[in-house]
Amino acid sequence: MPLILGSTSAYRHELLSRLRLPFDCMRPKVDETPRAGESPLALATRLALAKAEDVAARQPGAWVIGSDQVAELHGAPLGKPGGREAAIAQLAAMSGRSVVFHTALALARSGQPALQTVDRTVVVFRDLHGDEIARYVDAEQPFDCAGSFKCEGLGISLFEAIRSDDPTALVGLPLIATARLLRSAGYALP
């Protein structure tokens, strides 16, 4: 069965490669604008499903993985910063606080009901000082990462603790859940 990752994220590609299944990547055509009043959890869930279904509609017969991650601070979503000043501001706002990362996952195939799940990871940030935030941002330039850090790199030094059932979820694709959904769809995994 053909498998497609509905994403062009290098992080998700690397993670899915760990399962040693052949797959292709395809960019989903999805508007990622949050809807009025939409919670971070609802946004992540809606976008993961929309990404999977969009690619599945264009690739009949293939199973498509869609994933989306939304960080939540005090009930509000934190997006990708896109630049240095926004990344510094995000990290300053998260200093000394707990931030919830909702990583939604959908596995879709045209003409079949999608399989879905969401991982909830809580990251507790240390008290961060302005100079160390700036040094971190300049070193890793995490402008394409929700929450302005790369936990698989130097970003781990910003944390007090991580609470999650799946350590890969924070990087962008919860592999425990991905493997479970793929087995449900008939893929042979260990």
- By annotation, the residues acting in catalysis are 68
- Residue 87 CB partners (closer than 8 Å, separation 6+): 81, 137, 141, 142, 143, 148
CB atoms within 10 A of CB 10: 11
Q: Which of 158, 162, 159, 107 is nearest to 137 (CA)?
A: 158
Which H/E stretch holds residue 72? strand 63-73
Amino acid (1-letter code) at residue 19: L
Alpha-carbon span 37 to 34, nearest angstrom: 8
